Amino acid sequence: MIRRNLRLPASGAYSSLTKGRTSMALSYPKLPATSLSFSPKISQKNFPFKPAVCSSSFSSSSLSSSSFSLFNPSPSNEMAPLTVDKLNEHVVNAKYAVRGRLALRAEELREQLKANPGSLPFKKVVNANIGNPQQLDQNPITFYRQVLALVQYPDLLKNPDSELLFKKDAIERAKFLINEIGSVGAYSHSKGIPAVRKSVAKFIEQRDGFPSDPERIYLCAGASIGVTQLLSALSTGPTSGFLIPIPQYPLYSATLTLVNSTAVQYHLDEKKGWATNVDEVRSIVDAAKLQNIDLKSIVVINPGNPTGAILSEQNIRDIIDVAADDHLVIIADEVYQANVFVGEFISFKKVLRKLQQENPGSKYDSVQLASIHSTSKGMIGECGQRGGYMELTGFHPEVEEHIYKLASIALCPVVTGQVLTELMVNPPAPGGDSYETFISEYNGIFNTLKHRANNLYQAFKQMEGVEVQEPQGAMYLFPRITIPQKAIDAAKEVNEVADEFYCLQLLERTGICVIPGSGFGQQEGTWHFRTTFLAPGDDYAIDLVNFHKEFMDKYRD
């Protein structure tokens, strides 16, 4: 039997073996009908596609109707021979709520507002569904973009005015990087540019106080790629199991579906600020063994998405203990390590090295850890530029060879993303020309996020039937909502899950797009939603409070 997304009760036997639901009914937005397809009669030697408006010789009026046709690929083409039942079933079954039904509806509403402002009860759509800081109002940090601009277009360095436009330390860093990289338009080493990997290793050493080897660092085009490569390499079919936290970031469940492996769920403890209950994890490991699940790995997200919780050092020690006893690879997703508002981020690598130091020649020596970081989050927030890295600790060299091979199949991570990774781990030094601006921008973003998190937290605390944990880290709040039975029944009538029903109504009434808890996993019978706290202004929190009141007034039992 193929088992996926297992929820193993701490008591032993499986409570439910839920094979991933088939894909959500998605309504796809219509493709624009305006793409032009040029006939071969038009000779465009070097440019297969030239916008008509830019050139008099190719103005649309000069083209006869026979020389081009309007190309309108209809998404409902009944004639297309490839149908969904002929697709890879794992692709069809994979679910990714963060960009699912709610997000698609939000895009439709945004288009509607553009075409017909005033046609909806709100003025704008607020994407609180995804941790995408620069989609909202977070500005890029100047130093990062100055270096990036110079690396992209090195001729700027020859411009006599470049020293007026760019800070001295940005110019120096760009020259250093250009010297190491050559052109960002060329493929780099598949593991990433050696000089960047050296900077990453230095950053890790300074952060943890333990050495790091640049050869164990793999740069990747966003953390997602590192995670996908690891899960692909470790998966050996449906009986291979991966412990994932619930609630979880759906990259994990979706990728495990894609690679046809089994997600074995361990529940975070909401009552204890979403802490990891290691005794429960141990029971689940034992139960999985009884079911002949070959457990490969435990995934830990710290700080948590969607929970925002930060693991204590003791929690991390306990998780490493379980991994050491059962030879589980630890995948430590640490992409939110700079988004810490309460307490302290401690890396798995640091705690592992401490355990190894405290217990020489012990089980900890054989622990295998993949630590992942990204340029998408923190104060850098450059999600679209696709940068990040993973550091492998304790892996067998022959295993690493195959992970390296996966990196090679993808040729190389985006080179500009690698540049940003270097900048993230090696920010401007005190005394440099960019330093003051950098610190002020960095702190400005940090304080704004903290303020917005608290603002939203206070708003949730006032709302009827809502419980929420104090925001500790990451970019999200994951409030628990009490949905009245009348609303649950109304949701059933329209074939929706209750929290999805709530979130869809919120979107339709206010333009606020959040993600239902069911997209991340939640204890049965509980309802949540995840919102980022990236949205600017106080209106956002006020709209949420008002909507919730309206909803409760309508459906209160």
**Chain residues in the site for ligand PLP (CB under 6 A):** 131, 222-224, 249, 251, 301, 305, 333, 335, 374, 376, 383, 388
CB of 132 to ligand PLP, least distance (A): 8
Q: Which residue, 261 or 376, is less far from ligand PLP as judged by CB?
A: 376
Cβ 374 vs Cβ 222: under 8 Å: yes
Residue 1 CA to its chain's centroid (Å): 31
Q: Which residue, 417 or 427, is less far from ligand PLP as judged by CB?
A: 417
CB of 126 to ligand PLP, least distance (A): 17
| Residues 526, 527, 531: CA angle, nearest 5 degrees | 140
CB of 480 to ligand PLP, least distance (A): 20
Other CB atoms within 10 Å distance of the CB of residue 303: 28
Distance CA 374, CA 371 (A): 11
Bridge partners (DSSP) of residue 154 are: none
Q: Which residue, 20 or 131, is less far from ligand PLP as judged by CB?
A: 131
Q: Which residue, 58 or 252, is less far from ligand PLP as judged by CB?
A: 252
Q: Which residue, 261 or 305, is less far from ligand PLP as judged by CB?
A: 305
Backbone angles phi, psi at 434, to 5 degrees: -90, -10
CB of 304 to ligand PLP, least distance (A): 8
Give how far Cα 321 sits from Cα of 90, 210, 333, Å: 33, 20, 18
Q: Please, which residues have CB within 8 angstroms of residue 252's CB and are 6 or more apart in sequence?
A: 227, 231, 242, 244, 263, 299
CB of 326 to ligand PLP, least distance (A): 23
CB of 96 to ligand PLP, least distance (A): 11
DSSP 517: G
Residue closest to ligand PLP when measured from CB atoms: 222
Backbone angles phi, psi at 55, to 5 degrees: -135, 130
DSSP 531: E
With H, G, I as helix, E, B as strand and everything else as coil, classify residue 16: strand
Q: Which residue, 377 or 548, is less far from ligand PLP as judged by CB?
A: 377
Give how far Cα 26 sits from Cα of 18, 74, 497, 511, Å: 21, 16, 15, 19
Distance CA 183, CA 479 (A): 47
CB of 383 to ligand PLP, least distance (A): 5
CB of 335 to ligand PLP, least distance (A): 5
Q: Which residue, 223 or 415, is less far from ligand PLP as judged by CB?
A: 223
Distance CA 264, CA 267 (A): 10
End-to-end CA distance of the chain: 42
Helix axes 348-358, 194-208, angle to 10 degrees: 60
CB of 180 to ligand PLP, least distance (A): 23
Cβ 315 vs Cβ 269: under 8 Å: no
Other CB atoms within 10 Å distance of the CB of residue 358: 10
Residue 128 CA to its chain's centroid (Å): 13
Q: Which residue, 221 or 503, is less far from ligand PLP as judged by CB?
A: 221
Q: Which residue, 38 or 306, is less far from ligand PLP as judged by CB?
A: 306
Distance CA 136, CA 544 (A): 17
Q: Which residue, 291 or 305, is less far from ligand PLP as judged by CB?
A: 305
Q: Which residue, 288 or 335, is less far from ligand PLP as judged by CB?
A: 335
Q: Which element (helix H / strand E) includes 427?
A: none
CB of 254 to ligand PLP, least distance (A): 12
Distance CA 112, CA 117 (A): 7
CB of 224 to ligand PLP, least distance (A): 3
Going along 42-181, which residue ranges are E strands? 68-70, 126-127
CB of 283 to ligand PLP, least distance (A): 25
Cβ 387 vs Cβ 375: under 8 Å: yes
Q: Which residue, 323 or 331, is less far from ligand PLP as judged by CB?
A: 331
Indicate the pairing of strand 240-246 with strand 476-477.
unpaired
